[in-house]
Structure 1
């Protein structure tokens, strides 16, 4: 048995056991555990106080999830509120993780799927399917998935010039974003009243009438892509040192960047197809997680938990703010996220990275 070697530094500890080595960040682990607990508590609160006149004690939610409780409570929890809460949880986690990937790859705190055209690509595809009606009768969920993946691939290909850089990805992404927005506006201008209402209802980001049909594909995507992002985390951290330094350390920079961008785009695509383009979650969640964990780049798993908490809280507010209607969750995240974006822009300008 080889001896273990441990070296401590401020905020982290590195270890080597034979051919296996790694770095442990105690603060990141603590932040992850606290965020997981907060996410679970907010999830239970959302299920307990969701839409409807029936208020369920939070203490009864967990037993009901396991099939214990009276008939009314079980029906309200498992049939009415749990599917919507699961979509909110998974959507927020996917957006948060996707935002962490994009901000880490581009080394830009303002980079996120809703700023780089990914979610707008989904919106353009859905608007085309509703207005033109010539896309084979595909559902809005399928159209959103295809549109978002197509936009992500377009950003990468257009940014390619014997390789890609974070700066080019951001610039090309902004261009693709506004091209897709122009397509959406054009399709809205030629659509009928009912078609325009359907498009706008999807574009704002909505969890109404969402259930297991939306939750299952998103859960599978997270189960596949999150472990991949965790495995690539070490290589992504070396890329924070710059492409030349990362290549000198043996990192296949372009291949890793391509895989990360495809994985981040896929997460955003599945989240957008499930609930529409819920804005600002992918922008805010990674930055909040990074500040809590005090890491050089946004941590993916912590960002996923932060995004899940943001969407769950926003969904609860959307159901309870007004007595006579349920607001789209995107309206709430927009109100909460716009000040955060302005603060991020001001902070980037002060740091000299805002352009």
Structure 2
């Protein structure tokens, strides 16, 4: 009587290999996320405690807890701490908006500042400041409408598969940006000296003048929009395979594209209304985050990278630039981002050819 021998199930072995690979990738991603979180926490501590006036960490904790230390309390609560909090919120919001936009358009150059969404918010906000004389929530609402108008143009072109592909959308976005720059300059010519100085500082991108009331509005916006974008991004990853394939897998392509664009508009407009258009953060954070994860988009890490960039840039502009002068954070990120943009264009061109 012969005995039957059962061969090992290759499917189960393959499944185990896949599970091990996924666990290894998850642990590696968690380590990198933790490292970025620690770097951001260290940068915030340095930004808050070290400067023209040094506040020790114990005194910082006491002041935050409600203690009143003459001199130190004012510097911490009215200068360094609000700037650090605004930098974290602005950097994370712009970075996530840029990462989502790049995945949505399947192009690393498709960031809100390149495509004109930041320009729409900036032009509308400058118009509300100088012509309409608005402030606070009114500026935020007008900036949102300006960004929404540019986003509507891009959504309209991308509906049903944009003719000419994402390259055509980028060209349209660059054209919108050029038009908005011209409109912004025209509005600035109508301003008096006081309004012109205020608008020019705002247009460079700065967290220096952010008040706790404005920071609270931005925090509420980020608390709602950022988690929503994290959830929505799962569907966007399917859409990166192509609209037809995504629709075949049951993804509502047009609805998710519109929701993603709406989230980008909310994050960009809210940030621009408080801090102005901080240059290149939305463009830089996404490619850096994907490089850390071998091409995969991990929005949590991208948000941490964006926040870290703005906090570090604000500290450099405030204390490390030769000659002092409290350089706005947008100038520092612009100086760092322009060479990176040129490098990204050159390397992408080489790959395509």
Q: Same fold (TM over 0.5)?
A: yes
Equivalent-residue separation in structure 2 for 1:117 and 1:206 (angstroms):
19
- Residue of structure 1 equivalent to 2:36: 35
Q: Compute the displacement of 1:168 (Å).
A: 4.7
- Residue of structure 1 equivalent to 2:282: 282
* Structure 1 contact 156–169 (Cα < 8 Å) conserved: no
Equivalent-residue separation in structure 2 for 1:45 and 1:134 (angstroms):
37
TM-score (norm 2): 0.85
Q: Deviations along 1:264-313, whole A, 9 cap, x unmatched?
A: 121111111110000000000111111112243x3211111100000000
- Residue of structure 1 equivalent to 2:22: 13
Q: How many residues align?
A: 337
* Structure 1 contact 11–25 (Cα < 8 Å) conserved: no
**SS of the counterpart of 1:278?**
coil
* Structure 1 contact 148–265 (Cα < 8 Å) conserved: yes
Equivalent residue runs for 1:80-99 within 5 Å: 80-99=79-98
Residue 342 (structure 2) pairs with residue 342 (structure 1):
yes
* Structure 1 contact 98–267 (Cα < 8 Å) conserved: yes
- Residue of structure 2 equivalent to 1:217: 217
Equivalent-residue separation in structure 2 for 1:182 and 1:47 (angstroms):
38
Bigger proportion of residues as strand: 1
Bigger proportion of residues as helix: 2
TM-score (norm 1): 0.85
- Give the aligned CA root-mean-square deviation in angstroms: 2.8
**SS of the counterpart of 1:25?**
helix
Equivalent-residue separation in structure 2 for 1:62 and 1:135 (angstroms):
37
Residue 298 (structure 2) pairs with residue 299 (structure 1):
yes
Q: Deviations along 1:143-189, whole A, 9 cap, x unmatched?
A: 333322332233323x1554556445433322322221221122234
Q: Specify the structure having the higher radius of gyration (Cα).
A: 2
- Residue of structure 2 equivalent to 1:26: 27
- Residue of structure 2 equivalent to 1:154: 153
Q: Compute the displacement of 1:236 (Å).
A: 1.3
Q: Compute the displacement of 1:137 (Å).
A: 9.9
Equivalent residue runs for 1:1-355 within 5 Å: 7-9=16-18, 12-13=21-22, 25-50=26-51, 53-58=52-57, 60-62=59-61, 64-67=63-66, 70-133=69-132, 139-157=138-156, 159-162=157-160, 164=162, 166-296=166-296, 298-320=297-319, 321-322=321-322, 324-352=324-352
Listed as ranges, the gaps of 5+ residues in structure 1 are 15-22
